């Protein structure tokens, strides 16, 4: 059993990670300011430190807990917000990470698992699916901040001996995702369709994404903790789905009469995104298990239940 601190652990992805680590009998603590997460996402008995990850108090918690692992899931996750407010994105995604890492200088033994982005880090891809060695050319400030985070981790490892795993996630979907905001197209579509409302597809709708189920992501974090494998790993399905196909699938499941409307393309949005998971399969022993149609049905049912 290990002591694990999960930043952003009351959020969408973070709370599933907490559940998975608790199921592995680890001692799990959560650091979250609840700006987008919710305490109801946490199982009873999981300690919650309600703090901003950029604060002095957050740094003190890391010092006092002396965790064996830190899973850094806290982040600003909207591409559009990152383009409209680059200073905010950088403050949260870079300064926040550095603040959490600062107490670890010289403390060898702590391993950091960082949630990076497979789609946003690579930018417009040259090959599909993209391996970890693909050129890194972010098309958004969000993708840039995630890459900078990886570089900080590499520096902390090389200079101060703090080992780390960077999981480059594709587009994560599933229960508990916040439907209010710019991120999480599956969540947004589910909520609107269950209310009998139309949904909007930005741009042509032919842009593709690699949708990975949140429980599969949580398992990848568990494998990273189990193995302490250092480096970058793509966590995705290696399969492309167009946003229009996603919209039509969910419409047919939730509200066949709903209209799928067109909306302007978003700044910083990639046209195609799909990542190669071969390295994760080989080194972490991880592979996605949730079939897309089944995952969408599970997610939709969760939102239907949550709306009652």
Structure token digits, residue 100 = 């959490």
Query: In this predicted structure, what is the pLDDT of residue 289?
Result: 98
Taking only the tens place, the pLDDT of each residue in 178-187 is 888 656 899 9
* Residue 193: exposure state from Cβ atoms within 10 A (0-12, 13-18, ≥19): buried
172: number of Cβ within 10 Å: 26
Taking only the tens place, the pLDDT of each residue in 209-230 is 999 999 999 999 999 999 999 9
Structure token digits, residue 39 = 């305490």
> Which sign does the torsion angle of CA 120, 125, 130, 135 carry?
negative
Taking only the tens place, the pLDDT of each residue in 2-31 is 999 999 999 999 999 999 999 999 999 999
- Cα separation, 100 vs 137, in Å, equals 26
- Cα separation, 111 vs 225, in Å, equals 8
Taking only the tens place, the pLDDT of each residue in 118-140 is 989 999 999 999 999 999 999 99
Active site residues: 142
Instruction: DSSP letter for 183, please.
Output: S
The pLDDT > 70 percentage for the chain reads 98
Domains of the chain (ranges; CATH) run: 3-174+212-236+273-289 (3.40.50.720)
For the entire predicted model, the pTM comes to: 0.97
Query: In this predicted structure, what is the pLDDT of residue 168?
Result: 98
Structure token digits, residue 86 = 């680059």
Taking only the tens place, the pLDDT of each residue in 257-279 is 999 999 999 877 889 999 999 99
Query: In this predicted structure, what is the pLDDT of residue 108?
Result: 84
Over range 93-103, report the average pLDDT: 98
141 Cβ contact partners less than 8 Å away, ≥ 6 residues apart = 82, 83, 86, 89, 90, 268
205: number of Cβ within 10 Å: 17
- Cα separation, 192 vs 189, in Å, equals 5
Over range 232-250, report the average pLDDT: 98
Apex 297 CA angle, 118 and 256, nearest 5: 110
pLDDT at 148 over 80: yes
**What Cα–Cα distance (Å) separates residue 271 from each residue in 60, 131, 202, 252?**
42, 17, 11, 24
Taking only the tens place, the pLDDT of each residue in 23-34 is 999 999 999 999
What is the rounded average pLDDT for all residues in the chain? 96
Stretch among 146-160, 173-187, 226-240, 244-258 having the lowest mean pLDDT: 173-187
Query: In this predicted structure, what is the pLDDT of residue 107?
Result: 84
- Name the nearest CA neighbour of 241 among 191, 199, 207: 207
- Cα separation, 39 vs 11, in Å, equals 9
Query: In this predicted structure, what is the pLDDT of residue 182?
Result: 58
Q: Whose structure tokens read 């978003």?
A: 266
Strand partners, 201: 262
Go through 255-277 and write b for each residue having 16 or more CB atoms within 10 A of its CB, e for each that does not.
Answer: beebebeeeeebebbbebbbbbb
Query: In this predicted structure, what is the pLDDT of residue 269?
Result: 81
Query: In this predicted structure, what is the pLDDT of residue 141?
Result: 97
Taking only the tens place, the pLDDT of each residue in 48-58 is 999 999 999 99
Q: What is the SS3 assignment for 133?
A: coil
């Amino acid at each position: 059993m290990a002591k694990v601190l999960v930043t952003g652990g009351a959020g969408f992805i973070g709370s599933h990670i907490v559940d998975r680590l608790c199921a592995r009998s680890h001692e799990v603590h959560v650091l979250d300011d609840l700006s987008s997460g919710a305490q109801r996402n946490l199982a009873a008995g999981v300690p919650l430190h309600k703090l901003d990850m950029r604060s002095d108090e957050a740094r003190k918690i890391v010092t006092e807990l002396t965790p064996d692992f830190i899973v850094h899931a806290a982040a600003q996750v909207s591409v559009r917000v990152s383009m409209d407010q680059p200073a905010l994105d950088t403050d949260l995604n870079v300064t926040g990470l550095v603040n959490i890492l600062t107490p670890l200088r010289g403390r060898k033994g702590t391993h950091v698992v960082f949630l990076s982005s497979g789609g946003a880090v690579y930018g417009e891809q040259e090959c599909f699916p993209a391996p970890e060695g693909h050129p890194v050319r972010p098309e958004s400030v969000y993708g840039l901040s995630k890459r900078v985070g990886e570089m900080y981790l590499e520096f902390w490892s090389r200079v101060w001996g703090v080992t780390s795993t960077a999981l480059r996630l594709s587009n994560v979907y599933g229960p508990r995702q916040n439907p209010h905001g710019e991120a999480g197209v599956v969540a947004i579509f589910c909520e609107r369709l269950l209310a009998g409302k139309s949904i909007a597809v930005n741009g042509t709708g032919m842009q593709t994404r690699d949708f990975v189920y949140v429980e599969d992501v949580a398992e990848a974090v568990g494998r990273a903790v189990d193995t302490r494998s250092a480096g970058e790993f793509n966590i995705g399905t290696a399969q492309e789905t167009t946003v229009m196909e996603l919209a039509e699938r969910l419409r047919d499941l939730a509200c066949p009469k709903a209209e799928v409307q067109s909306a302007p393309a978003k700044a910083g949005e990639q046209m195609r995104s799909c990542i190669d998971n071969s390295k994760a399969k080989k080194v972490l022993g991880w592979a996605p298990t949730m079939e897309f149609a089944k995952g969408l049905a599970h997610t939709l049912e969760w939102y239907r239940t949550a709306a009652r």
